[in-house]
Amino acid sequence: MLSTSGILGYGFPEESIKRGVAMGVDMIGCDGGSTDPGPHYLGSGKTLNSRLAMKRDLKLMLQAAVAEGVPVTIGSCGGAGGEPHLEVMAELTREIAREEGLSFKMATIHAEQDKGWIKQQIADGKVKPMRNVGALTEDDIENSERIVGCMGPEPYMAALDAGAQVVLAGRSTDPAPFAACAMRGQIEPGPSWYSGKMLECAAAGAVPKGHDCMHVTIKENGVICEPPNPDKICTPTSLANQSLHENASPNLFQEPGGLLDTTDCRFEAVSDRAAMVSGMRWLADDQYTVKIEGAQHMGYRAITICGTRDPLLISQSEDYLGLVRDAVRTKAEAMGVDPSSYKLMFRAYGRDGVMASREPLAADPSHELGILVEVIADTQEMANTVLSVARVSTLHLDFPGRLCKEGNMAFPFSPSDIECGPAYRFNVYHIVEPKDAMEMFPIEYEDVRN
């Protein structure tokens, strides 16, 4: 199996896909999305990567797959896997087929969920919260712009069994597009899921790391990983490092339908460029579960970025930003702005901008600070207004011991204020118990002929 890149549109060397195909392939795939970029793409319906970038990658994949007579599977299309994202990918696929004279049967697997269905699952006691998340309510559902389910491999397998050569899927767990092809080839679930874990980020399991392809072969004694690019290699250490990717546990990975247990995995080199992993186990669940994700519109955002290297201000930066906050509140109220209608936030990079209250070295700041000022308000005009007050206050407010009576901050841009548009938050991050693996994910088929 060949994975082209960590997310469709990230790019990969054209020579790598050629080399990967020459190594032998039964499928070509790519994970198309993630929650890593946050809730904006699910909420807004916009794609994570540009249409041009996705088209370039997809064209090379389709050309190679049609030439070899193997399937292409793309998961979490468009970044978030909702209906708008899936439609963009379907349009791109048709466009490429017309331009390149390609013909194939295409399946689109829908992952966006009907709100009424989810409400019924709540009523039936079939919805549970993820860790550190509250119970799902009907208000949460109504407030979501859209809700998607993270499908497992079964819908992909069904589409491939129906003769689809190109499978475009909505939101999926990252390994699912690859695990599906392995399971369909009569590979046990453990190695199948593990191969997906190794392929979901493509060459991330190789060194040096970069946006590139990864080739995986599953044999009776393990999963062999080798990057097609001759400038990269897989080592036992690089694969072990990748196996820890994005999970609270180092060896237990919950997926739809079960748990991938890597406790007894063994990593060994099989050549100077390839390494093998063995010993993984699949522990099937009694009840099939699917994670659901929803995004809620929470207002409109505006930001500005500035910096200071005044040592007196830096030494009291937390107190100073508190003074700025008070000044903004006073000025906003004078304009008739209700303080409850906006949120004002500061991130001080060089002090605790990354880890906030969890930063252990906040008392030992840098010689300079970068200040990100953020406002989220009920309207864009309100966000812009409050931000402008915050920017002026941050620039000119007095503080104890101040020697320079000019501006306290340097701004890298003009205009300094950046209008960001709608802001979203994840408000659905729960587990649902469908009656089977297919209930939530209807499939449509289309003959693309050119």
pLDDT 10s digits, 271-319 = 999 999 999 999 999 999 999 999 999 999 999 999 999 999 999 999 9
User: Do both 274 and 405 map to the same domain?
Assistant: no
CB-based contact 90:168 (threshold 8 Å)? yes
User: Do both 285 and 332 map to the same domain?
Assistant: no
Average pLDDT over residues 17-37: 97
How would you label 9-32 residue by residue, b for 16+ Cβ within 10 Å and e otherwise? bbbbbeebbebbbeeebebbbbbb
Nearest to 229 by CA among 24, 12, 63, 59: 12
User: Do both 240 and 352 map to the same domain?
Assistant: no
Q: How many domains does the chain have?
A: 2
User: Do both 241 and 384 map to the same domain?
Assistant: no
Quick count: other Cβ atoms within 10 Å of Cβ 179?
33
User: Do both 16 and 94 map to the same domain?
Assistant: yes
SS3 396: helix
Query: Would you say residue 167 lies in a domain?
Result: yes
Query: Would you say residue 143 lies in a domain?
Result: no
Query: Would you say residue 12 lies in a domain?
Result: yes
CB-based contact 128:430 (threshold 8 Å)? yes
Quickly state the pLDDT bin for 247 (edges 50, 70, 90): confident
SS3 237: helix
Distance, CA of 294 to CA of 111 (rounded, Å): 12
Distance, CA of 99 to CA of 106 (rounded, Å): 16
Query: Would you say residue 217 lies in a domain?
Result: yes
Percent of the chain at pLDDT exceeding 90? 97
Quickly state the pLDDT bin for 374 (edges 50, 70, 90): very high
pLDDT tens by residue, 105-130: 999 999 999 999 999 999 999 999 99
Query: Would you say residue 116 lies in a domain?
Result: no
- DSSP secondary structure code for residue 142 in this structure: H
Nearest to 150 by CA among 442, 444, 436, 431: 431
Q: Which residues, listed in sequence order, are joined to residue 342 by a DSSP beta bridge?
A: 377
Distance, CA of 202 to CA of 117 (rounded, Å): 35
User: Do both 88 and 177 map to the same domain?
Assistant: yes
Alpha helices in 316-370 (DSSP H): 317-334
CB-based contact 202:172 (threshold 8 Å)? no
Edge-to-edge strands of the sheet including 252-255?
A: 252-255, 258-261, 281-284
Report the CATH number that the domain containing residue 413 is assigned in CATH. Answer: 3.30.70
pLDDT tens by residue, 385-405: 999 999 999 999 999 999 888
User: Do both 260 and 354 map to the same domain?
Assistant: no
User: Do both 259 and 370 map to the same domain?
Assistant: no
Structural domain harbouring 219: 2-111+150-289+433-448
pLDDT tens by residue, 139-189: 999 999 999 999 999 999 999 999 999 999 999 999 999 999 999 999 999
User: Do both 167 and 206 map to the same domain?
Assistant: yes
CB-based contact 420:303 (threshold 8 Å)? yes
User: Do both 302 and 423 map to the same domain?
Assistant: yes
CB-based contact 269:384 (threshold 8 Å)? no
Q: For the range 49-56, what are the long-range contacts, defined as Cβ-Cβ under 8 Å and sequence gap of 24 or more?
A: 49/7, 49/8, 49/9, 49/10, 49/79, 50/9, 51/88, 51/92, 53/9, 53/10, 53/11, 54/8, 54/9, 54/78, 54/88, 54/89, 54/92, 55/92, 55/95, 55/96, 56/9, 56/11
Distance, CA of 238 to CA of 277 (rounded, Å): 11
pLDDT tens by residue, 44-60: 999 999 999 999 999 99
Instruction: Specify the pairing of strand 72-75 against strand 28-31.
Output: parallel
Question: Which residue has 């017309």 as its token pair?
Answer: 98
pLDDT at 32 over 90: yes
Distance, CA of 142 to CA of 145 (rounded, Å): 8
pTM: 0.95
Query: Would you say residue 301 lies in a domain?
Result: yes
Query: Would you say residue 376 lies in a domain?
Result: yes
> Which two tokens mark 280?
């993984």
Distance, CA of 290 to CA of 286 (rounded, Å): 13
Query: Would you say residue 138 lies in a domain?
Result: no
Q: What is the pLDDT of residue 221?
A: 83
- DSSP secondary structure code for residue 305 in this structure: E
User: Do both 367 and 444 map to the same domain?
Assistant: no
> Which two tokens mark 141?
């559902």
> Which two tokens mark 181?
């092809």
- Which residues, including other chains, have CB under 8 Å from residue 361's CB and lie 6 or more apart? none
pLDDT at 370 over 90: yes
Distance, CA of 327 to CA of 321 (rounded, Å): 10
User: Do both 258 and 312 map to the same domain?
Assistant: no
